[in-house]
Structure 1
Amino acid sequence: MELPVVVGVDGSDAAVGAVDWAADEAARTGQPLRLVFASLWEHYDRIKPNFSPDRASEEILAERIVASAREQAEALRPDVKVTAEVVPHDPVTALLTEAEQAYAVVVGNRGRGEITDLLLGSTSLTVAARAQCPVVVVRGPRREPGDGRPRVVLGVGAEDRSSAAGAFAFRQAARRGAVLEVVRAWRRPRIGSDDAGQESRHAQETLDDIVASFALGHAEVPVELTSVEGHPRKALLERAAGADLLVVGARHRHSKVGLQLGPVNHGVLHHSPCPVAVVPQPA
């Protein structure tokens, strides 16, 4: 089944970068590209009297944004099949609905009208926390050909010996001709503990198992294993510097306010110097 790469557009600078990233991804995977602009004007226009023969300004703006994004994608990747639609939903609902039948959902790190001091827009964070498919939050400058060998970074935890995130990261590295760096951070159970050696060996075993699980299908991918003592968030942010993509797995957590991401994923989504792919893990 041909699943599209879906990208949310809203006319913001961040969305422009997301369209570029999504168009490149569609070209790499051979998937179609679907541009989605979510707007509630159409919903409200249906339920209130409209005595004006003129078209609503919100309708005109939505069509212009979608048309501009489509022109941008087709100019960058003329070989990619592009569709575009204005949908009568709020952005979160629209993108989560699209995620049910998507290869991946791509969003900018901040939408139009977001407070600029926020590190990550609420729409991007909510979609990353709840989507059923991988979500890529586009951050950092666009890397151009010739910027050095491509590099994909995969962060793994103690329980990730076989993971959807690992499979996704290996595919990404293979398609980009990239080096895949698999990073596992570990910490001593307590200060002065004699168990540091055991924790280090456990981290290395996790790395070895991840590579064994997926490398057979991607023998062409050069793999580097990095075991770091320290906080996972700090380790991943350091290794993401200069990378093309940081991949993390997500086991959605339920709380009083709904589905949530863990603190490490929150940290990398807010601070990563490169795009971040959040890949749902099996329960």
Structure 2
Amino acid sequence: MDLPIIVGIDGSEPSLRAVDWAADEAALRGAGLRLVYASLWERYEGACLAHDLGKPSEEVMAQDIVDTAERRAHRRQPGVKVTTDLLPEEPEYALVRESRTALAVVVGCRGRSGLTETLLGSVSVMVAGHAHCPVIVLRGSHDNQARSGVRGRILLGVGEKPAGTAAVRFAVEEALLRGVPLEAVRAWRRPVHETTGHPLIVGEPAHLYEQHAVEALEEALRDVPEGLQVQRRTVEARARDALLAASREADLLVVGARRRHGHFGLQLGRVTHGVLHHAACPVAVVPEPA
């Protein structure tokens, strides 16, 4: 079965930018595009019907939103097959369920009032934390424009268990599809109790921790196909800070998120949560088995 790329839409400018980005991604992958609007309109409208169409007024509005998004997707990528759906349920739950049969889910970054550029809406966080497929959250370029391939690199955050992970495979695939280099970043820090002490032994622990970071990068990238340009970088810093700095020069930041079976809380680590809220480029959160 050919899986589609799903976009959560709500009529906002960020969600329309997500339609643009997802349409480009669908064209790259030869995939279909599915536009989903989910809302519990009947909770608020009850039996109040729109006079002309005999439907709840928010359902009429929802159809207008979907139609607008569909036209925009066709203009962006005329060759991509587009389907739409209206779902009478909370958007976060609808998108997580839809993610079971999706190649990826794309959502726009929608903050509140003057905090749009720094805070994510609850839907984006919920979907990124529970989806069964990669979730791309559109960060950066807050001008309602999708900017595919502007900086010409995919950024990968290499974590504690990188070898053969879904995040590594996704990042490699994105770089190959776009024909751009992959930059893999591994942050490292020496323990606080080893940052001071006798001047003759302070340098040695730092060297060892950096070497461990280098080895982690090599392990993560051992199966990268020949022909892909890879830039390996170790940084002495908090992982969140290192990735946020590097995101200013990337088209997409890819990070993994471990899924813990039987755990119903938010399944995003501190690093992933931090980059989702503050990265300067779109962020792809790729689920990893525990």
Distance in 1, matches of 2:184 and 2:176, equals: 14
Is the 8 Å Cα contact of residues 182 and 230 (structure 2) preserved in structure 1? yes
Distance in 2, matches of 1:256 and 1:210, equals: 27
Residue aligning to 1:197: 207
One-letter amino acid matched to 1:250:
A
C-alpha distance after superposition, 1:217-241 (max 9, x if no partner): xx22100000001100010011111
The DSSP-based 3-state class of the residue aligned with 1:241 is: helix
One-letter amino acid matched to 1:78:
P
The reply on whether 1:227 has 2:225 as its aligned counterpart is no
Aligned pair count?
A: 274
Residue 56 of structure 1, CA deviation:
2.3
After superposing on structure 2, the runs of 4+ consecutive aligned residues of structure 1 that deviate more than 6 Å are: 254-257
Distance in 1, matches of 2:135 and 2:90, equals: 18
- Provide the aligned C-alpha RMSD in A: 2.1
Residue aligning to 1:27: 27
Is the 8 Å Cα contact of residues 49 and 56 (structure 2) preserved in structure 1? no
Identical-residue share of aligned pairs (%) = 49
One-letter amino acid matched to 2:102:
A
Q: Closer, same or farther in 2 for the Cα pair 1:82/1:43, shift >3 Å?
A: farther
Residue 244 of structure 1, CA deviation:
0.6
Q: Closer, same or farther in 2 for the Cα pair 1:117/1:28, shift >3 Å?
A: same
Q: 5+ residue gaps in structure 2? A: 197-201
Q: Closer, same or farther in 2 for the Cα pair 1:70/1:197, shift >3 Å?
A: same
Q: Closer, same or farther in 2 for the Cα pair 1:90/1:51, shift >3 Å?
A: closer
Distance in 2, matches of 1:273 and 1:76, equals: 23
Residue aligning to 2:199: none
Question: Matches of residues 48-127 of structure 1 in structure 2 within 5 Å?
Answer: 49=47, 54-110=54-110, 114-117=112-115, 119-127=119-127
C-alpha distance after superposition, 1:21-41 (max 9, x if no partner): 100000001110000000112
Residue aligning to 1:270: 277
Residue aligning to 1:240: 247
One-letter amino acid matched to 2:99:
A
Is the 8 Å Cα contact of residues 233 and 268 (structure 1) preserved in structure 2? yes
Distance in 2, matches of 1:43 and 1:152, equals: 42
Distance in 2, matches of 1:115 and 1:254, equals: 36
Q: Closer, same or farther in 2 for the Cα pair 1:132/1:206, shift >3 Å?
A: same
Which of 186, 200, 204 aligns to 1:184? It is: 186
Distance in 1, matches of 2:20 and 2:68, equals: 12
Residue 51 of structure 1, CA deviation:
7.4
Distance in 2, matches of 1:18 and 1:128, equals: 15
The DSSP-based 3-state class of the residue aligned with 1:71 is: helix
Q: Closer, same or farther in 2 for the Cα pair 1:152/1:195, shift >3 Å?
A: same
Residue aligning to 2:147: 143
With structure 2 as the length reference, what TM-score do the two structures score? Answer: 0.88
Residue 255 of structure 1, CA deviation:
10
Residue 162 of structure 1, CA deviation:
2.2
Q: 5+ residue gaps in structure 1? A: none
Residue aligning to 2:169: 167
Distance in 1, matches of 2:140 and 2:206, equals: 35
With structure 1 as the length reference, what TM-score do the two structures score? Answer: 0.91
Residue 174 of structure 1, CA deviation:
0.2
Residue aligning to 2:12: 12
Residue 138 of structure 1, CA deviation:
0.5
Range with bigger deviation, 53-62 or 242-251: 53-62
